[in-house]
Amino acid sequence: MEDRDQSADRLAGAFAEFRAASLRRAAEPDPDEPRRRAYRRLRNRVAAPVVAATVALLAVAVGLAGNAVTQPPLVTTDESPPATENPPATPSTAPTGPTPSSSATPTTPTSPTPTATASGTPSAASATPSGGRSAAPPSVTSTRRLDLSISSPGSVTLDPTGDAYTGWLTFTISNAGDRAYDANDMIVVLPVEATVDFGDSGIGGCFNQGQDDDTRTMFCTGDRQIPAGGSRSYRFGLRVEIAPGPTARTLDGLALTVRANDRGAFPADRTPADNTARIDLELPPG
């Protein structure tokens, strides 16, 4: 019983000393307390701008991250645009889906454009062939052709007349073409010793085009046109300035070429090989 009372007294004494010490601290303030309060204020003033700057940086970073998420990634391609070709015979069918170069964000065009939009609707250019041009109807080319020909005997015999030879030559011009023209022109090549007289045949107005030691060339205005599928014969006189001799001889170099005159021009003939006739002049002894 005595031991228990001593323990209680020691506990009460310790509590009394702790209470007295606490009262002394409350009555006598700590001399370091003002210095600690000034340090805390300084620390708070320095820390506040740092916190504000950190918050601002975080806000900017969050904004940039948001833009990076919402904006579509750039799409690059090495493919070059296809070369423009001529329009095919039939229009090509435009694709129903968006092209690789279409934007990831759908846009509403104000007018049809040659490229497809992201919505998958074909553009107005799909109604035309590739190349951007509508197919033009084929041009109509006339199938009418000129096809004149001339025929004559391969040789004609002239008669001795005084100091020369004279005679007649008959030839025929035919028209196998179906194109209209104005008149028949003639190119006449004669031996230098020969002359020609067209008379009233309708061919005339000749003028010399050139001459060498053996032949002379003349261009002559021709007769009226020959109807398609028709023909017309002509007869004109010949004179050769060679005195008849005791022996016969042959004089070559006479050639007649017919061509169509169409308003002062000379269109190509379908078969030009039959437009020229060559005639030998036979000179018997006199």
Model pLDDT, residue 27: 57
Gap between the Cα atoms of 87 and 62, Å rounded: 53
Question: Considering Cα of 221, then 224, then 230, then 232, what sign does the dihedral take?
Answer: negative
Torsion, Cα of 32, 38, 41, 47 (10° steps):
-90
> Digits of tens for pLDDT over the chain (286 positions)?
455 566 677 777 877 887 777 776 665 556 666 666 666 766 666 566 666 777 677 776 666 655 554 555 554 444 444 444 444 444 444 444 444 444 444 455 455 444 444 444 444 444 444 555 555 565 567 788 999 999 999 999 999 999 999 999 999 999 999 999 999 999 999 999 999 999 888 888 899 999 999 999 999 988 899 999 999 999 999 999 999 999 999 999 999 999 999 998 999 999 999 999 999 999 999 8
CB atoms within 10 A of CB 112: 14
Q: Please report the pLDDT score of residue 123 as a whole number.
A: 47
Q: List Cα–Cα distances, 90 to 93, 123, 129, 154, in angstroms.
A: 9, 18, 7, 57
Q: What is the predicted pLDDT for the residue at 276?
A: 98
State residue 168 phi and psi, 5-degree precision: -130, 145
Query: For residue 114, what pLDDT is reported?
Result: 47
Residue 14: its pLDDT value, please? Answer: 79
**What are all long-range contacts of 264-268, with beta carbons under 8 Å and residues at least 24 apart?**
266/185, 267/146, 267/179, 267/181, 268/146
Nearest to 265, CA basis, from 179, 194, 137: 179
CB atoms within 10 A of CB 186: 25
Largest CA distance in the chain: 201
Token pair of 141, please?
A: 């080319």
**Per-state percent for the chain, helix, strand, coil, to nearest 5:** 25, 30, 45
Q: pTM for this one?
A: 0.51
